[in-house]
Every structure is written in C-alpha cells, then in structure tokens.
Chains A and B, each alone.
Chain A
Amino acid sequence: MKSYQFKPYNVGRWLIWSLFAIVLICAPLMFTSNLSGTMLAQMGIAIIACLSYNILLGQGGMLSFGHAVYTGLGSFVAIHALNSITAGTSQIPVSLLPLVGGFAGIGFAVLLGYVTTKKSGTPFAMITLGVAELVFAMSLMFSEFFGGEAGISGNRVAGPTVFGITYGPQIQIYYLIAIYTFICVALMYAFTQTPLGRILNAVRDNPERVEFIGYNTQRVRYFAFIIAGFFAGISGGLGALNFEIVTSEVVGAGRSGGYLLFTFLGGATFFFGPIIGGILMVLAFVLLSELTKAWLLYLGLLFLFMVMYAPGGIASLIMMNLRVAAFGKLKQIWVSYLGLFVTAFVALIGAGAMIEMVYHLQLNSALGNNLKFMGIVLNAKGVDSWFGSVFIMLTGLGLFEAMRRHFLIEWGDIQIEIEKEIKRREAA
C-alpha cells in the first residue's frame, strides 16, 4: 500500500486531523439555528461516548450492556461538582468539570470493572447488564445523590470567568465540547497505537496466545475498561454541562443499549466508525423521533439487517467502496447501486406506509382514519390504501431481490479483479 508519507511528516494524517478540526470549528457557523446548535453539541458528546464504548466493543471484543453507568455516573459527579462551585465550596473552573466527570468514570470503572472484566465474551456481557441494573436500581434508592425522579439540576454560569467566557450562550458551550471532542478523539486514537492498545486487539482475537506470551488478559481488559471509563466520564461531564440537568435515566439500560446500537451501526471495526455512530445517534434521537412514532422499530430492523449483512457497520461499507473506487471500478457498479437504492426505497415506502397506518390506528385513531405519509393522504381503514402499500412493497421487494442477485455477481467479479490487480502489482 502506498501512503502519502513524507518523512518525518505523515501528511495524510495531518490532513485528516486538520480537516476534523476545521469541521468542528466551522460546523456552528454553517448550521446557525437553535436546534442545530444543541444538536451539534450533543453530537460531540455522543462521539466521545461511542468512541469510548468502542475501546471495549471494537478494540477489546467486550460487548458491554452497561456503558451508560460510566457516562451517567460521570454526569452525576460533574453536576454535583458544578453545584458546589455555585455554592462557593470548591474552586474548580467550569471548563475543567468534564475532567471531574472523567475521574469519576475512572473511579467507578476501577471499582466495578474489577468484577466485570474477570470474564470475557458472553458472561462479560451478562455481568455488565447485571451491574447496569444494579446501578439503575440504586439510582432510584439514593435520592440525595441521584435526585430521585426530578434529577439534579445545576447552573453552568458559575465561578470566576476567564476572558469573559461564562458558558451562558450555547455557542460557548459548543466550543468547549468541540475542544474536548478533538482532544479526546486524538487521545483515543493515540491509545490504539500504544502497546496496551495493540495487546488489547490481541486479547480480542486470541486470548489464549496472549496468555502464552506472558500477558495477563484479565489485567489488559481491566486497564482498557478503566480507560474507556475515563472517556465515558468526560462525555458524561460534558453532557451535564450541556443540559444542566441530570436524571437517573442517564444510567438506564436504554442509554446503554443506544451506545451499543449506534457504535455497531457506525462500525466497530474501524476507528472512525463510532464517530459516524455518534452523529447518527443524535440525528435519530432528535430528528427521527420527531418524524415518526415507529422510529425504534425502524432502528431495530436496521440494526438486525446490519448485523446480518454488514457486521462491520457503515464504516466498513465506506471502506469497501473506497477500495473499489481506488481501483477505478466504481463506474462499473454505480448503475447497480442506483437500482438497489431505488428498489429498496420503493419497498421501504410500502412497508413504512403500512407501519405508519398501524401506528396511526393504535395511537391516534381519535383523530380520524386519515394520515399523511410522505405527502400522500392515506386512509388507515381503507382497503385501497392497504392494497396500494402491499402492492408497492411487494413490487419493490421483488425488484430489489432481482437487483441484489445481479449486484452480488458484479460485486464478486470486481473483488476478483481487484485481487488479481493486487497480485499483478506485487509481481511487478
């Protein structure tokens, strides 16, 4: 593989990281509305959380159902620290509060991770689930720390200001989050290059051999767990600053499931996958949930198909197509892609119309039988609407299946050609 490397500088890497920084800086200048401002801030937080989760899932092969414990407890400790700043009992600057959350994350990861990382694989997943339930049940018990039903609220305009930055306006908190996001992403990338990060990959792939070369796999998992806890705590601390309220749902199973879902959708096998996942997470939670009531169903179905047909997530799809493009084969296949997308879209419209009609009957039947779906008025009790939807879906499905078979053949041919090309270049 030829890379753009001019010693002593890795130009490609500099380019990507400066691009990332520019995107972080310019995003709020391009999307200026109030909603997009809060969404961008949440995206930064979600990116850190998903990347920290991927230290476990992608790099360590540890499927955790309880990552929200560490982000959530980080949030709680950070909001308590914020309130103590407001009360004047501590002197930490507000901009360092996420670090307080991070250290809380370390503390809880040291404590709980010791039990959790004793095992790997499926038992590990079950234990994280148990620990998550434990912490969530406790959050309803200790109302002093967790604030009970109402949660704990704070005010981020507290303590002495530096250069006139009060963190009152949303844009200031966004840039604080952006700075943290950049640093954390860089640090987590750096972690993948350290000896510990490398041995963690080995522990994921073949723990037995790692034991034979003299490493304690349990300790490697434990250290990785603590590091993931640190970054999770930072994201939790940022979340506390952003929302100024922390309720017990931040340690709940739903949140943990969300991290798992979106990290996987983004792609756990590539470092940048969870970044896509984090962005998708905010888009889904904020926009998709506004658009349709059935969004969790769509999400679950998407996840199921992703696990079955593209276990590497969106990131792996991107990388596969980049490879095809790098060998100049994309022009052979783009017609098939177009066909796939169009037929899949047709099938989805049919299925979506039916799901929306059932939801309408179930939830809004008081509003009458008519609902709007993609600009068309459907009658949820009308035969023609149902017949039309079924017809559209079946047509779409049939054509999609035909396109898919055609596409698979083409794709296989292209992969063979690429393999040949690589061999030819190696020989030359």
Chain B
Amino acid sequence: MEFFIISMLNGLSYGLLLFMLSSGLTLIFSMMGVLNFAHASFYMIGAYFGYTLTSLIGFWPALIIAPFLVGGCGVIFERLTLRKVHKFGHVPELLVTFGLSYIVYELVQLIWGRTAVEFTPPELLKGSAFTLINNATTGLQLIWGAAPAEMCSAADAAVRIVCSPFPATRAFMMFVALLMLLSLWLLLTKTRIGLVIQAALTHPETVEALGHNVPRVFMLVFGAGTGLAGLAGVIGGSTFVTEPAMAATVGSVIFVVVVVGGMGSLSGAFLASVLIGVIQTFAIAFDYSFVSVAKDLGFQLSSNLQNNSFLKLTVSQVAPILPYLFLVLILIFRPKGLLGTREG
C-alpha cells in the first residue's frame, strides 16, 4: 500500500514537472503554430541559471529571477530569429528552433563544462516531506517530516515495519506545478490579456484589426512559455541532475506528451503528462518479465524460451520506451490525441 502511494506521488510529481514544460510548449504551439524544438533547451538554461544564481544570491531569489531571465532569452530569440522566418512557413520555424537546440547545447558545455554541476536544493527542501510508516501491527501511519529512527525499527523482530519517506523537493515540485496550473488558468480565462491571447489563437486578423499588437502578444507568449520552462528547469535541475544531457532526456518525452494530449490542447497536455509520468514511474518500480510472471503462475518454460531476450525483458527495462509506444498506439487508435480537436 505505502509502495503504491509513494510511487503514485512520485509519478504525479514527475508528470506535473512534464506538464510545466509541455504547458509552455502547447501554449506556444497553439498560438504560433511553432513547435519549439528548443523548449527543453530553455529548461536546461533555466537549471543552469538557477545553479549560478543560487551560488550568488541563494535558492529562493534564484527561483524567481531565473525564469524571468530565461523568458527574456526566449523573447530575444523570438524577436531576432523566429519572427523573421515566420513568413517562410512552419518547417523553417521548426528548423530555427532545432538549430537553437544545437547552439544551446554547445554554449552550456562551453560555459558550465561537460560534466554535471552540483545543484542541490536548499536545506528546507532536503529532507522528506512526510513519511509513511507501515507497521504490521498498528497499520499505516503518516508522519510529517522525517520519521524518528525508533519508529522505523521494531523492538520485536517479528513485527515488520516499512518506512517510506517522500522527498520534500518532489512535494515542492507538485506544489509549484499546481500553483502554476491554477494561475495559468486564471490568467487565460479571467484577465484581459488572457482574453486577447485566446482571441489571437483563433482569429489573429480580427484581434489585430481591433488594435492589439498581435506580434507582440506572440512574443510575450513565447517569453512566458520559455519562462515556464525555465521555472521547471530550476526545480527539475535541483531535484534531478543538472547536466548538458538533461535537455535531451526530457525533450523527446515532452513532444510525446504534446502529441498524445492532442496538439494545442492544454487540458490534453495535463492529462497526458500526468499519465506518462505515472506510467513511467510505476514501470521502473516493477521488476517482472514474461519469464518471471510465467514462473510465478506455475508454467514451466523451455530453456530456449527462458533465454529469449525479448521474453526476459523486465518491465523496468522497458520503461524508457513506454512513452513512445504509447505515442504510436495513440496515433493508430486516436490520431487526434486524447483531448485534441483537430487532426494535424
């Protein structure tokens, strides 16, 4: 039980981190029709900015300032390059961001080196948010913070006690993502600028005719989207590893999220990122393969079958490809994506 809860929470927090990234990507895509290939690069820049600023002014100010800096970079990039190729069509726009991902990868290596940097969360987030204690006699119990050692070790060896801590960084990640989701939703539906953005999504010419500067709205949305990626970068970088390869590891997954959720659908992106986060986290935790399951069920397999490399694969080994398999299946059975409305 406690395994299920902790894995579920881990999956949710990872999914919410994916959503922080894919929300910006979806917003930019649905607005400008540009799939920002370099979105994960902005995530990486966010992590590195966060790292540098943390050593200068501390983690909490860095958490606020780094996303704005990343958003500023996004605005500059949009203004200098993306807007220029807008007239050539969507493929050159995608190519520009593709080129940017190469440049950012190299620049990050140039400035911060090729190995991982030590970006750790502040003291407040280092421990565990809460601990689940499964005592064989007294049942499941929740304790905020780390559990004292005497509660996790039983005096009687016959009583089985399992302590499962949940890291505070993960909880913080969930908290920020949910806060962001809420504020994004409020911004888009309740404020004037949100209404202009929504209108510019579907009727850019009309919005322009009403006197709004649509290219500037695009620029701000691009900045906001990359800023969100930067925020995710500060949190993700301090929770996981901050290294030049971090953009590639998360990059292709967020594209899967966007396609699976339905191109340009924010709620679809939310559903898909949580789903993929949970599936991947659970898959890593399971160590079953066809061979082991067959053994548990009492089937006797021939030695040939037992050494078959396909049947020997455990679920945890398959975990990295699950998002992509999911993508292929979705495309076959529901080409629009989970909550998408249009077929690309």
Chain A residues within 8 Å of B, Cβ to Cβ: 61, 63, 115, 118-127, 129-131, 133-134, 137-138, 141-144, 253, 257, 260-261, 264, 294, 296-297, 299-301, 303-304, 307-308, 311, 355, 358-359, 362-363
The number of chain B residues touching the other chain, given as a range, is 35 or more
Residues of B within 8 A of A253 (CB): 248, 252
B310–A257 contact, CB under 8 A?
no
Residues of B within 8 A of A261 (CB): 102
Q: 29 A-B residue contacts at CB 8 Å?
A: A115-B332, A118-B331, A119-B343, A119-B344, A121-B90, A122-B33, A122-B263, A125-B35, A126-B255, A126-B259, A129-B252, A130-B259, A133-B321, A138-B321, A141-B309, A141-B318, A260-B98, A294-B110, A296-B106, A297-B102, A297-B103, A297-B107, A300-B99, A303-B95, A303-B102, A304-B96, A304-B103, A307-B95, A359-B110
A123–B263 contact, CB under 8 A?
yes
Which B residue's beta carbon lies closest to that of A355?
B110
B324–A301 contact, CB under 8 A?
no
**Given known contacts A61-B91, A142-B309, A307 and B96 CB-to-CB distance under 8 angstroms:** yes
Q: Chain B 95-121 against A: per-residue CB contact (8 Å), 1 yes, 0 no?
A: 110111011011101110110000000
C-alpha spacing A160/B96, complex, angstroms: 50
B85–A144 contact, CB under 8 A?
no
A304–B331 contact, CB under 8 A?
no
Partner among B33, B91, B324, B328 whose Cβ is within 8 Å of the Cβ of A137 = B324
Partner among A141, A301, A311 whose Cβ is within 8 Å of the Cβ of B317 = A141
Q: Name the interface residues of B148-203: CB closer than 8 Å to any CB of A.
A: none
Closest 10 pairs between A and B when the two form their complex, measured CB to CB: A300-B102, A123-B344, A134-B324, A297-B106, A300-B103, A304-B99, A303-B99, A137-B321, A130-B327, A133-B252
**Given known contacts A118-B335, A301-B103, A362-B113, A133 and B96 CB-to-CB distance under 8 angstroms:** no
A324 to chain B, nearest CB (A): 22
A125–B94 contact, CB under 8 A?
yes
Partner among A118, A144, A294 whose Cβ is within 8 Å of the Cβ of B106 = A294
**Given known contacts A119-B344, A138-B321, A303-B99, A63 and B81 CB-to-CB distance under 8 angstroms:** no
B328–A131 contact, CB under 8 A?
yes
Residues of A within 8 A of B327 (CB): 127, 130
C-alpha spacing A303/B85, complex, angstroms: 13
Beyond the given pairs A123-B259, A303-B98, 5 more chain A to chain B contacts, judged by CB atoms under 8 angstroms and listed by A's residue number, are: A63-B95, A115-B331, A122-B263, A122-B344, A303-B102
A308–B263 contact, CB under 8 A?
no
**Given known contacts A122-B33, A141-B317, A304-B81, A134 and B95 CB-to-CB distance under 8 angstroms:** no
Interface centre among A125, A261, A294, A363 (most CB of B within 10 A): A125
C-alpha spacing A367/B303, complex, angstroms: 57
B258 close to A (CB within 8 Å): yes
A371 to chain B, nearest CB (A): 15
Residues of B within 8 A of A126 (CB): 35, 255-256, 258-259
Residues of A within 8 A of B320 (CB): 137
Residues of B within 8 A of A359 (CB): 110
C-alpha spacing A120/B90, complex, angstroms: 12
Residues of B within 8 A of A307 (CB): 85, 92, 95-96, 99
Which B residue's beta carbon lies closest to that of A134?
B324
Residues of A within 8 A of B110 (CB): 294, 297, 355, 358-359, 362
C-alpha spacing A358/B344, complex, angstroms: 44
C-alpha spacing A122/B342, complex, angstroms: 13
Residues of A within 8 A of B90 (CB): 121-122
Which A residue's beta carbon lies closest to that of B343?
A119
Q: Name the interface residues of B249-264: CB closer than 8 Å to any CB of A.
A: 252, 255-256, 258-259, 263
B136 close to A (CB within 8 Å): no
B299 close to A (CB within 8 Å): no
B263–A257 contact, CB under 8 A?
no
Residues of B within 8 A of A124 (CB): 344
Interface centre among B98, B103, B256, B318 (most CB of A within 10 A): B98
C-alpha spacing A307/B313, complex, angstroms: 43
Q: Chain B 313-329 against A: per-residue CB contact (8 Å), 1 yes, 0 no?
A: 10001101101110110
Residues of A within 8 A of B325 (CB): 134
C-alpha spacing A358/B109, complex, angstroms: 11
B4 close to A (CB within 8 Å): no
A197 to chain B, nearest CB (A): 19
A32 to chain B, nearest CB (A): 35
Which B residue's beta carbon lies closest to that of A138?
B321
Partner among A299, A308, A363 whose Cβ is within 8 Å of the Cβ of B84 = A308
